[in-house]
Structure 1
Amino acid sequence: MSSYSSPSHGPHGGGRGYRPTVVAVAAAGVMLPFSVTGAAVALPSMAARLGSSVGAAQWMLNAFNLTFAALPLAAGGLADRLGRRRVLLTGIALVGGMSLLVALAPSMAVADAARAVQGCGAAAVLASGAAVLAHSTSGRRRQLAFGVLGTSFGTGLALGPPVAGALVGAAGWRSVFLLVAALAVPAWLCATRAPESRNPDRAAFDVVGPVAFTAALAALSFAFVRAGSAGWSAPGTVLLLAAAAALLALFAVVEARRADRAMFDVRLFRRPEFVAVVCQPFTVTLGFVILLVYLPAYLQGVAGRTVGTSGLLLLPMTLPVLLLPLAAARLAALTSVRAVLTGASALIAAGALLLTTLHGDGSWPALALPLVPFGAGVGLAFGVMDNAAVSTVRVEHAGAAAGIFNTMRITGESVAVSGAAALLTTLTADRLGDSGLLPAAATRIAGQAVQGQVAEAHRAALDAGFTGALHVLGLVLAALSTLGAVLTHLALRPRQVPSVD
């Protein structure tokens, strides 16, 4: 890839451990997006069967996203210090074990707690998996390996909604989480054959930085949940937002002062190309994840479609993410990462703009029109983003680099999921208020609609309100993705830069 320098590679670059390593990481990678998309599809049925409140049900998604977003940074550092395969195996075990606990949960409170721990395991898999690949591969084999990793993520995303929908319809919501637990067994067995590796120059573990960052994300997530019920100007919401900002500032100061001992290597942000790569998730996957989580709820609730049909209607967006990552890796080798990532952002911007034509009672082609560009853009980006991130550093620091990149990626997704819920609820409630409902009732009904629970008496009003909220969201996402395309094109200019050690 012409935009990046070639780092030094580990002793396993292309050796006998190549195939089992790629299979192990890819098998683990399938579980992660399915844990997000499958849970989103199962949530309406799960909340109804467990008699959950709106807030408790939302935390079934937020609890996972919070720890998943906050911990790749720490997991990447631990992988470099304790062993990348060891952290990968631990992560797979946590994802599978906690998914089994969710499947057996007697209440939403138990499910929320298990999902928080499951997010910790997912963060470990995400950071250590990329680091294992970076250490075990080189050259064209590395490009192929990361293309396979992107395809595994795409497989989980593409198959998640229809498979989860079919499972919920046939065997109930618990079967979705039982499937993840079952998938963890072969993934763990494959991972035992991956080569072990670690950074020989292991500095003391940075505790304060990850704690401050995790606390900041927790405050931000609580703020979004509270904003959806109490409003953005409520004292509790404002206080939580202020706490999140203060904790993020503390994190930045601590990491800057720790220099070489920091978990978050701020020196990497001197490179425009690294900044462009780690910021890609905010413009590439943000809208995609929002639609994966909330479009099924919209189709099931407002549009009155079945769970299975809702999953199938997402295929125009999810199938390209399954099919394009390997092609993207080859395309980047023929052209450049710059061209692939710029094009990906442009496609997503087009899909977001077309989202303003979406209506719940529309035909399948009308629904597919905005979803195909979304899926194509994300599929192209998935094939090159992870490799681009770890290729900017020496292989000894691949865990930290993967941790930084995936922290930025999952942070964006976590903030997007909780923030979009608050935004969609607020916009929908405003429309309901215009129809004569009291503000408290409008907010409660709008919050239930965002989770796919719609009473027949309010269906017409929610149809207009929720659909209008999605249209506004589409305009916001189109603006962000257009900005991302421009900045990526400017930052990823072909040049060679020295590696940061």
Structure 2
Amino acid sequence: MSNLSITATPPSKTPVLVAICLAAIILPLSFVSGSIATPVIGRELGGSAQALSWITNAFMLSFGCFLMAAGALADEIGRKKVFIVGVSLFALLSGLIGFSSNLLWIDVMRAAQGVAAAAALAGGSASLAHEFSGRAQTRAFSLLGSSFGIGLAFGPFLAGLLIAHFGWRSVFLSSMVIALLSLSIGVTRLNESKNPNAAGIDWPGTLLFTAMLALLTWGLMDIPVKGVASFEVITLLLATLVLLVLFIVVERKVSHPMLDLSLFRYARFIGVQALPLATAFGFVVLLVLLPMQFIGIAGMSEEQAGLMMMALSLPMLVVPLLAAFLTRWISSGIVCTGGLLIAALGLVWLSQSIASQNMLATLLPMTVIGIGIGLPWGLMDGLSISVVPKERAGMATGIFSTTRVAGEGIALAIVGAMLAGFVGQGIAKITPNSDSASASVAIQRLAIGDLHQTQRVLPQASAQQLTEIYAGALHHLLLWLAALTLISAVIVYVALCLKKHIAPQPVNEALYQQDQ
């Protein structure tokens, strides 16, 4: 751990590193805390199941959509400016959410918060690269990654603790405090920097990409409400396809595209993109699904649920470092593939524990999943630039980051729709004569873990029946997630272990040589 120590950083640069790492902590903290807070927000403010889902989805969607645009803006007008504006806006919105009593405005502000998070991450990362060089830069980015791990690992427990003692508003107010602390350090210590060769923002590509992801997520989230064959859902998905075609056409014609499509000619680059998608379906969605199970169905307190979730997230503090250590003897492709296989095994095991409705029995499989996902998690950022030519590393990093964040938002929407479908099958069996409107509301409510409201809508169904329906639905969903993780492992193995000598002159020579 000594190579990650702040004391190894030049004293004049330490405040810069602290400011950016504090900002890095609040980004995953805001995501996981939002999922823990959602059930209690629903109890206090009410709102539809779809509106409550947007508390998490709006943040992830806007974060993923604007990450590449924020990076281009940082290069154009200044990294420090974008970082300071992003963190300031994040702090302001966190405070406003903490005092809001309107669910619609909370959803809108969470979307704006995602844009602020994109600016903070893009500006902070670029500033870090400018402030540090050589081995100091490697240490700085390692500490940045560790900061993300801290936010991810302790976010659920911190959120549960705050909610239990101070209410859900304290979750967002605590993020505001951390953001203000980062701001107070960074304003005077960060140096401004720009890219003198910046080509500007690809506005047509950015707008098309954002609209495409928004319509896709909206369509997926409408499936539980209106059905997959409904006119609205089909229209939204077809519009997504049209925007995708337009986006490809535009990106092939503009001189400085937001997304360089020619990078997808590299098989190994495609394989690397499978890693964040696998971690989204095999890990990130569990940060939302499992709190709903623990709090809404099993009746745990937010504090207890936060403690339970640490079994899943704590391995992220240690295992990524172990993964880097293992690459001394084993290729990074094999380590990533092995990690995904372990995670798939953990998901199958977790599905059996959920089916038995033994919550304590979920701790070990959750730990196995965290260990499995932690292996590729520690390597995939380096791999994203090691599998393309050196001069295209910047674009590769931007695409990878966008795939990671946007993929997490889409994964949440897909998983939500699948869970609602499985819940619907169970409700149809026990209430064959209930009217369709009541059944639809009950499905939406139970799919977000709101057992109390589901019983009010379907009084003829007992709590035990509804609990069994949810457990069965989650059991089947986890098996599907295990299958997706297994398929991802195959793709990663084929692309990273079998496809060699594809990308000349990689940036990260050490990783590339290990793969050979």
TM beyond 0.5: yes
Q: Aligned to 1:468, which of 469, 472, 476?
A: 472
Match among 439, 442, 459 for residue 463 of structure 2:
459
Give the alignment of 1:69-88 within 5 angstroms: 69-88=64-83
Aligned to 1:200: 196
Counterpart of 1:120 in structure 2 is: 115
Tell me the distance in 2 between the aligned counterparts of 1:396 and 1:181: 38
Q: Which amino acid in 2 is paired with 1:68?
A: F
State whether residues 347 and 482 of structure 2, in contact with CA within 8 Å, keep that contact through their aligned partners in structure 1: yes
Partner Cα distance (1:141, 1:111) in 2: 40
Q: Secondary structure at the match of 2:451?
A: coil
With over 3 angstroms needed to count, the CA separation of the structure-2 counterparts of 1:198 and 1:132, relative to structure 1, is same
1:478 aligns with 2:482: yes
Residues 331 and 149 from structure 1, CA distance in 2 versus in 1: closer, same or farther, beyond 3 angstroms?
farther
TM-score, length of structure 2 as denominator length: 0.87
Q: Retained in 2: the 8 A contact 1:147–1:325? A: no
After superposition, the Cα gap between the structure-2 partners of 1:194 and 1:486, relative to the gap in structure 1 and judged at 3 Å, is farther
Do the aligned partners of residues 36 and 294 (structure 1) sit closer, same or farther apart at CA in structure 2, a change above 3 Å counting?
Answer: same
Q: Which residue of 2 aligns with 1:50?
A: 45
Q: Does 2:367 correspond to 1:376?
A: no
Deviation at 1:393, TM superposition (A): 6.9
Mapping 1:18-417, distance limit 5 Å: 19-137=14-132, 140-192=135-187, 193-258=189-254, 260-332=255-327, 335-359=330-354, 362-363=357-358, 365-390=360-385, 400-417=395-412
| Alpha-carbon distance in 2 for matches of 1:81, 1:395 | 22
Aligned partner of 2:287: which letter?
Answer: L
- Name the residue aligned to 1:445: 442
SS at match of 1:492: helix
The whole-number CA distance in structure 1 between the counterparts of 2:260 and 2:181 is 34
Give 2:85's aligned amino acid.
T
Cross-structure match for 2:4? none
- After superposition, the C-alpha distances for 1:295-321 in whole angstroms (9 at most, x for unaligned) are 111111221222211111111101101
Q: Contact 1:130 / 1:402 at 8 angstroms: preserved in 2?
A: no
Greater CA drift, 474-483 or 125-134: 125-134
Secondary structure at the aligned position of 1:61 is classed as helix
Residue-pair matches, total: 486
Other structure's SS at 1:71 match: helix
Instruction: State the shift of 1:408 in Å.
Output: 0.5
Determine the C-alpha separation between the residues in 2 that align with 1:288 and 1:95: 25
Contact 2:389/2:504 (CA < 8 Å) preserved in 1? Answer: no
| Deviation (angstroms), 1:434 | 0.7
**What is aligned with 1:9?**
none
**Equivalent of residue 497 in structure 1, options 485, 492, 504:** 504
Listed as ranges, the gaps of 5+ residues in structure 2 are: 1-8, 508-516
Shift of 1:225: 2.2
Q: Distance in 2 between matches of 1:396 and 1:70?
A: 24
The offset of 1:146, in angstroms, is 3.3
- Larger mean CA deviation between 386-395 and 19-28 belongs to 386-395
SS of the equivalent of 2:101 reads: coil
* Cα distance in structure 2, aligned partners of 1:141 and 1:381: 24
Q: Is the 8 A contact 2:76 2:200 kept in 1?
A: no
Secondary structure of residue in 1 paired with 2:92: helix
Alignment-mate amino acid for residue 75 of structure 1: A
Note the alpha carbon deviations across 1:232-277, whole angstroms, 9 max, x for none: 111101111111111112112211222x411112232232333222
Task: Report Cα offsets for 1:165-219 as digits up to 9, x if no partner.
Answer: 1111111110110011111022223444344433221224210101011111111
Q: Distance in 2 between matches of 1:332 and 1:117?
A: 39
| Paired residue type of 2:423 | T
Indicate conservation of the 8 Å contact 1:432/1:461, yes or no: no
Point out the more displaced range, 416-425 or 79-88: 79-88
The structure showing larger relative contact order (alpha-carbon pairs under 8 Å, at least 6 residues apart) is 1
Does the Cα contact within 8 Å between 1:356 and 1:475 map onto a contact in 2? Answer: yes
Q: In structure 2, what residue type is equivalent to 1:40?
A: S
Q: Is the 8 A contact 2:273 2:403 kept in 1?
A: yes
| Counterparts of 2:191 and 2:393, CA distance in 1 | 15
Counterpart of 2:443 in structure 1: which amino acid?
Answer: A
Task: Kindly provide the amino acid, as one letter, of the partner of residue 37 in structure 1.
Answer: V
Q: Which 4+ stretches in 1 moved above 6 angstroms? A: 14-17, 393-398
Conservation of the 8 A alpha-carbon contact between 2:79 and 2:192: yes
Give the root-mean-square deviation of aligned CA atoms: 2.5
Task: Output the amino acid matched with 1:179.
Answer: S
Decide whether aligned partners of structure 1 residues 215 and 180 sit closer, same or farther in structure 2, where only a CA change above 3 A counts.
same
Distance 2:294 2:250 in 1: 45
2:210 & 2:369 partners in 1: Cα distance?
30
Distance 1:290 1:92, change over 3 A: same
> What letter is aligned with 1:146?
F
Please give the alpha-carbon distance, in whole angstroms, between the structure 1 residues aligned to 2:108 and 2:144: 29
Alpha carbons 1:430, 1:442 under 8 Å: kept:
no
